[in-house]
Amino acid sequence: MAKQYATFAGGCFWCMVKPFDEMPGIESVVSGYTGGHVENPTYEQVCSETTGHLEAVQITFEDTLYSYEQLLAVYWTLIDPTDAGGQFYDRGESYTTAIFYHNEEQHQLAEQSKADLAASGKFQQPIAVKILPASPFYPAETYHQQYYKKNPMHYERYAVGSGRQAFQAHHWGKQ
């Protein structure tokens, strides 16, 4: 099959890149903005909570090497799926969670994975992740791309200080 896209919003996009970045079949992971009504928004605009955009990553992948189902399984371990107000330290609409599907197969797989997580009993509250049709994706500014490689010490402090790593360890074990 041809290359496909997967688009996930999971709070701060810095923390969403590294887990996907070096998996087999992953061509690229781009930080950006999607789901809103402003064309080519800037980081400052998105943070102002006036654009409707969420911080997200768009993954280009070869599904014969790494399936969409596998990407979904990783996605769930990166977020607090019960938090509708943002993720960890970051609050507000632009930091909320969503799976943006690119075709009907992805839509069905995303819905099924959400239902499976809800039925698993792993979380006591309802799963708050939205599943939405993909909309235009706007790459974030260059300094946001591959942030974990460019600024490894700050990235690590952020991942720990935001509470994300502790949450992941508690619910999913050591990542």
Provide the 10 A C-beta neighbour count for residue 85.
11
Which residue in the list 6, 12, 59, 159 is annotated as catalytic? 12
**Phi, psi at residue 100, to the nearest 5°?**
-100, 110
- Assess whether 12 carries a catalytic annotation: yes
CATH number, domain containing residue 118: 3.30.1060.10
pLDDT of residue 22: 82
Instruction: Flag whether pLDDT at 1 surpasses 70.
Output: no
pLDDT in tens, 60-95: 999 999 999 999 999 999 999 999 999 999 999 999
pLDDT in tens, 109-163: 999 999 999 999 999 999 999 999 999 999 999 999 999 999 999 999 998 999 9
- Strand runs labelled E in 35-156: 54-62, 86-87, 90-91, 97-101, 130-133, 137-139
The DSSP letter of residue 49 is T
Quick one: pLDDT band at residue 3, thresholds 50, 70, 90?
A: confident
Q: Give how far Cα 41 sits from Cα of 67, 91, 124, 141, 147, Å.
A: 30, 19, 36, 10, 19
Instruction: Flag whether pLDDT at 101 surpasses 80.
Output: yes
Bridge partner residues of 29 (DSSP): 59
Q: Return the HEC string of 95-151.
A: HCEEEEECCHHHHHHHHHHHHHHHHHCCCCCCCCCEEEECCCEEECCHHHCCHHHHC
Number of domains in the chain: 1
Domain ranges, residue 11: 3-172
Using DSSP's 3-state secondary structure scheme, residue 8 falls into strand
Rounded-to-integer distance, Cα 23 and Cα 114, Å: 22
